[in-house]
Amino acid sequence: MVDKALDGAITGLIAAGEIKGKSGELTLLHTLGKIPASRVIVAGLGKQAQFNVDLIRRVSAEACRFARGKAAKRVATIVHGGGVGGIEPDKAAQAITEGAILGLYRFRKHITKEPENGDVQELLIVERDEAKRALLEKGRDVGRVTAESVAFARDMINEPANFMTPSVMADMARKLAEECGLELTVLERGQMKELGMGGLLGVSQGSHQAPKFIILSYRGDVGSQKTVGLVGKGITFDSGGISLKPAEDMGDMKGDMAGGATVMAAIRAVGKLKPKINVTAVVPATENLPGGSALKPGDVITAMNGKTIEIISTDAEGRLILADALSYAVKNGLSPLVDVATLTGAVRVALGDVTVGLFGNNEEFSKKVMAAAGEAGERMWQMPMFEEYKEQYKSDVADVKNTGGRYGGAITAAQFVGEFVGDVPWVHLDIAGTSLLSKEKGHVVKGATGVTVRTIINLVMNLAAEQ
């Protein structure tokens, strides 16, 4: 016991009221050579009844960041769980690993000045019981792959738009394919025209950057024709087009490809974890800029499935490229489908920056996604999808129009996207409110969050286990 080795210093501080054990409380003790470690961080875990895996993840992140602030290079911790909260050792080790990697994440690629404190170079999980070590190693390995995949998504989203063009996204997909044993196809503008992808081609008209349609596939069950489809919005910069956005905070629109980064990160993890299941990720990638050839309000375009769309606002562009991507997914037999998109400001009005909006056409599949989110500790809320909302985006000159107005905007946007999935089980995740944070919260740091990457990884692993 550390407390005993320190002559009851921790017990004394608890008795004096300096350590209260509140969740998030961190106390640094200098050991003065009494144990090999020069310093000990006592982390408060809060009430035992509220102890869970997500708390382990959060405390691990906060403690590691605290240690980095004290210039620590090596950190060791015991496994939280077991008798406290009944958490399995592998799940505890996974949470510790995820928390440490995600909590220590920072994006410094374009900063030339060295950080005040270097990085923590090693995290050691201490366990005397050899019988548990195999479980701990399993949890550690899953946690590392999962967290590194989230960091991959964060890196993509944090990149300035001049460093994360559609072509760069396609290049990153090529590297992923080589690294993770994935199949890759990238469709160019000519192939998009042949397939009738009027949504993606229309949005890309105002940009000098060529659009890319990225398809990454993992084949983990060669005996099955079933393939799960992951679709991610890949707008690498969104000015709003002719319906120009206000200048304030427009720079954040470099992150409008967060959905695409999410599904690429998720299939990266799937390729490394190798479950027995087939998965394909589809990312339509383009910029949305104004220009002489840009799409205009009042224009009519035709999506890949033949449905015509009246353009009311060129700033409602994400749903147009998703229309083609989902049409492609359905045509190629992908099922069930999950699409991820920073789709609407309306979802942020409804749910703030805490909760992801979930929309679906199949209650059983929606529950599976919600369960996967619960395991990941990512908050989601299922929104209504009543038929009456569809009236709001009916068009007088085309099959549909691309906005349904101000009221219920997140719902009508989801309903619009749902027009292109038919009867295929489908869930739409609107991450516009949660993809970026202005301050750190546990393992979720300032900037790009990588939200829903861990949920989708869990979902795929759960679906594989069902087979």
> Model confidence over 206-257: pLDDT tens digits?
999 999 999 999 999 999 999 999 999 999 999 999 999 999 999 999 999 9
Task: Note the pLDDT of residue 3.
Answer: 83
Q: What is the mean pLDDT of the chain?
A: 96
Structure tokens at 384: 């209504």
**DSSP state, residue 444:** B
Tens digit of each residue's pLDDT (9 = 90 or more) over 184-206: 999 999 999 999 999 999 999 99
Residue 249's contacts (CB-CB under 8 Å, 6 or more residues apart) are none
154 catalytically annotated: no
Is the model's pLDDT at 277 over the cut of 70? yes
Residue 85 pLDDT level (bands cut at 50, 70, 90) = low
Contact in structure between 315 and 346 (CB atoms under 8 Å): no
Strands 26-30 and 39-43 turn out to be antiparallel
Strands 308-310 and 300-302 turn out to be antiparallel
Residue 393's contacts (CB-CB under 8 Å, 6 or more residues apart) are 400, 401, 402, 403, 404, 412, 415, 416
Does the pTM surpass 0.85? The reply is yes
Task: Note the pLDDT of residue 81.
Answer: 60
User: Residue type for 417, please?
Assistant: V
Q: Which of 102, 149, 143, 145 is nearest to 444 (CA)?
A: 102
Phi, psi of 401 (to 5 degrees): -115, 160
Is the model's pLDDT at 4 over the cut of 60? yes
CA atoms within 13 A on the CB side of 126: 7
47 catalytically annotated: no
Domain residue ranges of the chain, discontinuous segments joined by +: 45-146, 159-466
CA distance 169 to 174: 9
The topology under which CATH files domain 159-466 is Aminopeptidase (3.40.630)
Query: Which candidate in 319, 348, 401, 454 is catalytic?
Result: 319
Largest CA distance in the chain: 81
Mean local confidence (pLDDT), 338-352: 98
Structure tokens at 238: 């969104």
Task: Note the pLDDT of residue 128.
Answer: 83
Is the model's pLDDT at 163 over the cut of 80? yes
Report residue 6 CA to chain centroid gap.
42
Residue 349 pLDDT level (bands cut at 50, 70, 90) = very high
CA distance 211 to 195: 14
CA distance 233 to 260: 5
Query: Which candidate in 174, 245, 390, 441 is catalytic?
Result: 245
For residues 335-366, b (16+ Cβ closer than 10 Å) or e, as one string? bbbbbbbbbbebbbebbebebbbbbbbbeebb
Is the model's pLDDT at 161 over the cut of 90? yes
Residue 467 pLDDT level (bands cut at 50, 70, 90) = confident
CATH 3.40.630.40 applies to domain 45-146: no
Structure tokens at 85: 């909260």
Task: Note the pLDDT of residue 82.
Answer: 54
CA distance 141 to 5: 32
Residue 443's contacts (CB-CB under 8 Å, 6 or more residues apart) are 57, 58, 60, 61, 98, 99, 102, 103
3-state secondary structure of 80: coil
User: Residue type for 139, please?
Assistant: G
Concatenated DSSP letters of 309-338: EE-S-TT--HHHHHHHHHHHHHHTT--SEE
